[in-house]
Amino acid sequence: MNILINPFKTQYTAAPFSKIENHYFAATFKELIKKTKAEIETIVNTSEKPSFENTIEALEYSGKQLSRVSSIFFNLNSAETSQEIQKIAQEISPLLSEFSNDITLNENLYERVKTVYDIKNTLNLNKEQETLLDKKYKSFTRNGANLSDEKKQRLREIDKDLAQLKLKFGENVLAETNSYEMHLTNESDVNGLPEGAKEAAKQLAQSKNKEGYLFTLNYPSYIPFMKYASNRKLRKKLALAFASKGFQNNDYDNQSNVLKIARLRHERSNLLGYKTHAHFVLEERMAETPENVINFLNELLKKAKPAAQNEFKNLQKFAKNLDGIDTLEKWDSAYYSEKLKQQRFSLDDEKLKPYFKLEYVIDGAFTVAKKLFGLNFKEINTIDKYHEEVLTYEVTDNEGELVSLFYADFFPREGKRGGAWMTSYKSQSIENNKNERPHISIVCNFTKPTKSKPSLLTFNEVTTLFHEFGHALHGILANTTYPSLSGTSVYWDFVELPSQILENWCYEKETLELFAKHYETGEVIPMELVSKIKESATFHEGMQTLRQISLGLLDMSWHSQDPSTIKNVKTHELKAFEETNLYPDISSNCMSTSFSHIFQGGYSSGYYSYKWAEVLDADAFAYFKEHGIFNKTIANKFKDYILSRGGTENPMALYKRFRGQEPKPEALLKRAGLIQ
């Protein structure tokens, strides 16, 4: 029996992973699309005149099961994929794209929505209802409702092509990541590497019946090698492989996919009356226009570039003095930065890692959530999971009421894409006076436990966990009426505020004392290490800021102009990087062909958001610091005005309600050490 067709009759209505067979998906999607179309027809064909309830709300609540099955399927395609799932994704993505167009290009439905929109001032709607109406109306006008039949048909073709191209782009990056291995058998080849990294590489080799050590392009394998391996030739070899994903003129080459995606996005925006894809996207962002984004990035560039150049010069000098390196290359960056950091602060990840056992860090994040927002996390084993490594939790408030389910998936696997992200298996909403609580998940790629050691995190992995957990809290504490305005359904350049602000707690003595305990002795992290973590927080901040700016500018270069004249991906990229380059270029490497954030994920014309949200998070955390980082009043304001309100209002209005003022960039520049 296909368990996906109807609402789940499971505990907490949790996704019944163990009962889902892959072959269910294609038939389920077709069936649920049919069901949802029937719901839409009912809205269109009612004899009642259009009202907010029978049109806007009815549309909002239509296709609930289709949404749930979509979230399950596409999350599996990211976290636990297979060739079978990828094949199904290629089959159903065009169907979903076509179905989405069937709704936004349905003239009779649009007429009903427009009728309600035109009389909105007489309807006495609350703020959330106003936002929903505005969003529904724009979902038609911004997606072709006013186009001629011929143009509507072209829009459908573009959307179908884009859906498949984005999937293909992601599949190619994953295939390139999985297909590369660097097999080393000489002990001298792993000189400099920490014992934990060696042990992990040895275990990986053994799992594939090989002698010696195996290194891959997955972050927990790649980063320690780049940071610590003293063999420069091998660092070069691994770095070249990492940076040439999708750029090797083989079956997984993404160059034509990049060009096609950029051109189709541009054509689509023109069709809809926008100058470029960036103009289309940014209309619904805090930044509003491509000009504002480019000005914002260039203003930051002015402050960061002199600092970055100075840091780079010092790093070059350091490498020259230490090892006689005449030209600092990209594969030297992490290695000599780590050496310089150790010299300057007597601090390196290997000293810190024993204090960051994964289980302790998870408990630390939970304790922060308890102290700030009154949340309790209890591990449960009564609900299904899609992989045995996934941890599952019941989240309750101080009255014992269910707030959310929480899934956490921490280690790299072959079927899992790289990086870290937060997602949802069920949105929060209120329907028929029942508050449906959300099911939230975070997915990371951390260092696995070995035979002799538990999973010990680098400090960077600690901040990554807190970052994703910040996104999770945005989902967990959602408390809105409508699912499409709930949780992280906010303007894309606002979505990083909850995640980035939570990273700040990792640098505070008060927080570290809660969870940074030596995994063998239980000793709390010494205060001298805490001081060094704080001191080193701005180490190479100029270079890091420059890198983020370079990626933001690369994104805008693809999307804020007509890309039809771009013939060569690499040539275009070099031009985009002109103002931000520090290292010599490597002709065999390309960023765009594996830049999944903008060519597969949702960050096209939005990569600047990370820096934009840093302005918000630095300003917001300064407010906490003024009153105490666990101050209940400030935490309640953050929960009430930011975390629980989702996308129900303009984000700047919500931010000002929390903070009492607009954010000031000075807090970010001070924190980064770029101004005094």
Q: What is the pLDDT of residue 665?
A: 81
Runs of H (alpha helix) within 9-79: 24-45, 58-61, 64-79
Residue 475's φ and ψ, nearest 5 degrees, are: -80, -45
Q: Which of 175, 219, 179, 176 is nearest to 197 (CA)?
A: 219
- What is the C-alpha end-to-end distance of the chain, expressed in Å? 66
Q: Is the pTM of this model over 0.85?
A: yes
Whether 631 has a pLDDT exceeding 90, the answer reads yes
| 53 noted as active-site residue | no
Q: What is the pLDDT of residue 98?
A: 95
Mean pLDDT of 264-288: 97
Average pLDDT of every residue of the chain: 96
Query: pLDDT, tens digit, for every residue of 475-521?
Result: 999 999 999 999 999 998 899 999 999 999 999 999 999 999 999 99
Q: What is the pLDDT of residue 539?
A: 94
Rounded Cα–Cα distance for residues 13 and 15 (Å):
7
Distances (CA, A) of 235 to 173, 210, 225, 231, 316: 21, 21, 7, 6, 17
Q: What is the pLDDT of residue 666?
A: 82
| Neighbour count for residue 18 (Cβ, 10 Å) | 10
Whether 1 has a pLDDT exceeding 80, the answer reads no
Whether 676 has a pLDDT exceeding 80, the answer reads no
pLDDT band at 2 (very low <50, low <70, confident <90, very high): confident
| Neighbour count for residue 54 (Cβ, 10 Å) | 16
For the chain, give every domain's residue range: 11-104+106-142, 180-242
Q: What is the pLDDT of residue 668?
A: 85
Rounded Cα–Cα distance for residues 344 and 238 (Å):
27
pLDDT above 70: percentage of residues in the chain: 100
Mean pLDDT of 153-170: 96
Torsion on CA atoms 47, 51, 53, 58, rounded to nearest 10: 60
Rounded Cα–Cα distance for residues 670 and 674 (Å):
6
- Of the listed 60, 468, 503, 508, which one is catalytic? 468
Whether 667 has a pLDDT exceeding 90, the answer reads no
Q: What is the pLDDT of residue 674?
A: 80
Torsion on CA atoms 164, 29, 427, 392, rounded to nearest 10: -90
Cα-Cα-Cα-Cα dihedral sign, residues 602, 604, 610, 612? negative
Whether 420 has a pLDDT exceeding 90, the answer reads yes
> What one-letter code names the amino acid at 197?
A
SS3 of residue 406 by DSSP: strand
Chain mean position to CA 519 = 30
Per CATH, the number for 11-104+106-142 is 1.20.1050.40
Contacts of 106 (CB under 8 A, 6+ apart): 40, 44
Determine which helix (DSSP H) or strand (DSSP E) holds 378, and give its type and residue range: strand 376-379
Query: pLDDT, tens digit, for every residue of 546-572?
Result: 999 999 999 999 999 999 999 999 999
Q: What is the pLDDT of residue 277?
A: 98
**DSSP β-ladder status, 402-409 and 439-443:** parallel
Query: pLDDT, tens digit, for every residue of 95-149?
Result: 999 999 999 999 999 999 999 999 999 999 999 999 999 999 999 999 999 999 9
Q: What is the pLDDT of residue 138?
A: 96
DSSP 456: B
